[in-house]
């Protein structure tokens, strides 16, 4: 038969020994200090030994108390680890990701099948919004948000688990058959400009630093998002301004051409943001590893800037 003193008394003893205070132990365990004292007195009677030297504002372990503390602490640590491992195995399989519509439709959704294949036990729930999300208090549709991916002008709070992913870059793209007409940016006056409703300032953001804002007056076919705009570009309808990370697969495959070279950094950067608590969840860690691997494979990840924990 295993001899075990009352477990509540052992919890009270371990907390009091760790804090060297009945008062602080009572605050941690949400009971009164007299309750802690009573539990420990009962434990001492059961063990027929003195565990603490009582002082006015402090209690100190006796030699016997120290031996008991070492064993009880190790035992509670092992119980805690076992409980966490069981809880982890039964974790919620739903991963809730909040990001902006452009990144969701243009980059993330076309690649989600790969994540589901790699991690069939998890289910991604995607929420799109242009608003900033307080990940420590986020509640979208009654569901907590595990991760946000946002384009930001400055790094998030360092108390969070964050990762700089890449600079936002705008690039001009056209169909291969139209590339010969675009030798210099001035040639943009001779082709149709495709607009996107979610980023009406896109052309101006690319043209203004070059002193060419006058080349676009906002006219031209308008599409709801980048994905539709790029489909129109591939048909030869005109040229578009888009995020380089969204157009990357089409550029790499030769379906789109960047007539004026690589994209232009426009001041925003893409960040991964979640709480440190969420960062430890297996579903979040799996998604983060997959995301970083995908971005690195496409040459988009800036590995020179580390994750902040």
Q: How far apart, in whole angstroms, are the C-alpha atoms of residue 91 and residue 284?
A: 11
10-residue stretch averages of pLDDT, the chain, 309 residues long: 84 92 91 93 93 89 94 89 68 87 86 93 89 60 77 81 88 93 91 87 86 87 89 94 87 92 78 89 93 89 55
Q: What angle do CA 274, 290, 244 make, to 5 degrees?
A: 85
Query: What is the predicted pLDDT for the residue at 79?
Result: 87
Q: How far apart, in whole angstroms, are the C-alpha atoms of residue 204 and residue 221?
A: 16
Question: Which residue intervals of the chain bear CATH 1.10.10.10?
Answer: 7-89
Q: Which of 37, 39, 66 is nearest to 51 (CA)?
A: 66
- Whether pTM > 0.75 for this model: the answer is no
Q: How far apart, in whole angstroms, are the C-alpha atoms of residue 43 and residue 76?
A: 17
Q: Does the domain at residues 92-309 carry the CATH identifier 3.40.50.920?
A: no
Task: Supply the CATH classification number for the domain 7-89.
Answer: 1.10.10.10
For 220, left (φ over 0), alpha (ψ -120 to 50), or beta?
left
Position of tokens 């099948």? 113
In sequence order, the 6+-apart residues with CB closer than 8 A to the CB of 235 are 175
Would you call 226 helix, strand, or coil by DSSP? helix
Pairing state of beta strands 239-243 and 161-173?
antiparallel
Q: Which of 256, 263, 235, 92 is nearest to 174 (CA)?
A: 256
């Amino acid at each position: 038969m295993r001899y075990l003193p009352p477990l509540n008394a052992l919890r009270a003893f371990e907390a009091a020994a760790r804090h060297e205070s009945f008062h602080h132990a009572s605050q941690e365990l949400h009971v009164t200090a007299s309750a802690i004292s009573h539990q420990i007195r009962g434990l001492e009677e059961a063990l027929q030994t003195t565990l603490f030297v009582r002082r006015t504002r402090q209690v100190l372990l006796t030699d016997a108390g120290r031996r008991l503390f070492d064993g009880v602490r190790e035992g509670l640590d092992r119980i805690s680890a076992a409980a966490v491992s069981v809880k982890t195995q039964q974790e919620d399989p739903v991963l809730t990701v909040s990001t902006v519509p452009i990144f969701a439709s243009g980059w993330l959704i076309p690649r989600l099948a790969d994540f589901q294949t790699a991690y069939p036990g998890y289910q991604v729930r995607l929420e799109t919004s242009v608003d900033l999300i307080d990940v420590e208090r986020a509640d979208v549709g009654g569901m907590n948000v595990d991760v946000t991916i946002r384009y930001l002008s400055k790094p998030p709070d360092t108390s969070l688990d964050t990762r700089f992913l890449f600079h936002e870059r705008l690039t001009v793209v056209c169909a291969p058959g139209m590339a010969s007409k675009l030798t210099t940016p001035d040639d943009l006056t001779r082709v149709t400009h495709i607009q996107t409703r979610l980023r009406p300032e896109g052309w101006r953001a690319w043209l203004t630093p070059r002193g060419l804002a006058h080349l676009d007056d906002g006219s031209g076919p308008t599409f709801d998002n980048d994905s539709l705009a790029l489909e129109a570009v591939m048909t030869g309808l005109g040229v578009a301004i888009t995020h380089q990370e969204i157009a990357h697969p089409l550029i790499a495959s030769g379906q789109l051409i960047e007539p004026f070279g690589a994209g232009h950094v426009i001041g925003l950067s893409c960040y991964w943001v979640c709480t440190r608590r969420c960062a430890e969840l297996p579903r979040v860690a799996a998604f983060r590893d997959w995301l970083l691997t995908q971005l690195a494979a496409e040459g988009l990840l800036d590995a020179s800037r580390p994750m902040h924990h």
